[in-house]
């Protein structure tokens, strides 16, 4: 899943329907490191968990990739899975490594993520999406199925988790997390896209109502509890955060999801500030790249490519008071360490934009 939406993917009439067909290979702990992938059918093969074997191709702009970046950081997998960051804009051939010297990823040695897809499936016919896990030795995509990929990071990569890594998918809350995702994914995560890419008034209004009914439900739920499930951060919070943090900056204006902003909903605004100030969340959020992507790439919506100067996002750094609701971010675990060198979000791309210089 990504924002890699070519013009041909967008409807000329009716509702926006996302292509959800992925390369759903799995990376599992039951295979010995160094072993070859098991299976013959792409999308059903299994690969071994192995430090250094894979590179996570992501983009700061994309909410789906942002989930994987947060999960990797919270679990302390930075030393085991390296990170390739594509730039925020792309052409019809999709994501490029134009942030790197010479426009080439220094580990994979490619200019376009498309090359890694073609190495796996020649003339791959679908969107070249992020996140994608790439086998470094063959420079070929293992999987771009973001949901299974993140679940495997949590459940299959446990031997390589950092000490104190939180349990993002606790067994006792598995059903509740799945129920929340079944509502939040179609009506909010993808709902903002259905709102913004609808080609007719009726589908736009239907999606609009879905988005704000879900936000109202979350507002009520979070008025009495610090996190969506249990007493610490879980995958449910990560999945919700990446949409909420983009809402006021992009979705409210660009996607016409404008009944109100998140900053105008007390519980959600406090919840968003709480998560944003938690290591792994705000320190992986790049507002400059987010705005560049949506306002430049989606030229069907914003044909002149003008990026709005606002809004002021420094409110994300203000006190939230959510500690009074109980719970702690990492439960019995601990916070991740500093952001690895080379993966830092520049201050001028963060919520500190507009604050006095330090």
Q: Which residues are catalytic?
A: 62, 193
- Asked if 281 contacts 70 with a C-beta cutoff of 8 angstroms, the reply is yes
Report the C-alpha gap between 194 and 92 in whole angstroms: 21
Strand partners, 57: 84, 132
For residue 199, give the nearest of 4, 19, 9 by alpha carbon: 9
How deeply is 194 buried, as exposed, middle or buried, from its count of CB atoms within 10 A (0-12, 13-18, 19+)? Answer: buried
How deeply is 185 buried, as exposed, middle or buried, from its count of CB atoms within 10 A (0-12, 13-18, 19+)? Answer: middle
Residues 144, 145, 149, 152, Cα dihedral to 10°: -140
Q: What are phi and psi of 143, to 5 degrees?
A: -155, 145
How deeply is 190 buried, as exposed, middle or buried, from its count of CB atoms within 10 A (0-12, 13-18, 19+)? Answer: buried
- Asked if 103 contacts 96 with a C-beta cutoff of 8 angstroms, the reply is yes
């Amino acid at each position: 899943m990504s924002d890699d939406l070519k013009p041909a993917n967008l409807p000329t009439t009716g509702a926006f329907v996302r292509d959800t067909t992925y390369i759903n290979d799995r990376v599992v702990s039951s295979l010995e490191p160094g072993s070859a992938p098991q299976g013959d059918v792409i999308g059903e093969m299994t690969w071994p968990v192995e430090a250094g074997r894979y590179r996570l191709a992501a983009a700061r702009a994309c909410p789906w990739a942002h989930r994987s970046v947060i999960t990797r950081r919270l679990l302390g997998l930075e030393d085991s899975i390296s990170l390739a960051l594509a730039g925020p804009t792309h052409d019809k051939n999709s994501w490029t490594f134009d942030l790197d010297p010479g426009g080439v990823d220094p580990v994979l040695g490619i200019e376009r993520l498309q090359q890694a897809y073609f190495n796996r499936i020649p003339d791959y016919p679908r969107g070249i999406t992020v996140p994608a896990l790439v086998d470094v030795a063959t420079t070929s995509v293992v999987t771009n199925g973001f949901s299974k990929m993140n679940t495997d990071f949590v459940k299959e990569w446990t031997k390589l988790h950092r000490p104190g890594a939180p349990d993002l998918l606790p067994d006792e809350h598995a059903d509740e997390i799945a129920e929340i995702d079944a509502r939040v994914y179609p009506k909010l995560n993808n709902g903002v896209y259905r709102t913004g890419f609808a080609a007719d008034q009726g589908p736009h209004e239907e999606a609009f109502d879905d988005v704000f009914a879900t936000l109202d439900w979350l507002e009520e739920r979070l008025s009495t509890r610090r996190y969506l499930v249990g007493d610490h951060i879980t995958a449910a919070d990560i999945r919700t955060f990446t949409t909420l943090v983009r809402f006021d900056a992009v979705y409210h204006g660009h996607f016409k999801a404008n009944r109100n902003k998140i900053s105008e909903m007390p519980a959600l605004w406090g919840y968003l500030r709480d998560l944003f100030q938690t290591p792994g969340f705000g320190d992986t959020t790049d507002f400059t790249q987010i705005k560049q992507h949506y306002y430049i790439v989606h030229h069907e919506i914003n044909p002149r490519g003008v990026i709005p100067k606002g809004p002021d996002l420094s409110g994300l750094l203000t006190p939230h008071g959510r500690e009074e609701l109980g719970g702690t971010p990492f439960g019995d675990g601990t916070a991740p360490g500093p952001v690895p060198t080379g993966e830092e979000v520049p201050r001028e791309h963060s919520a500190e934009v507009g604050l006095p210089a330090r």
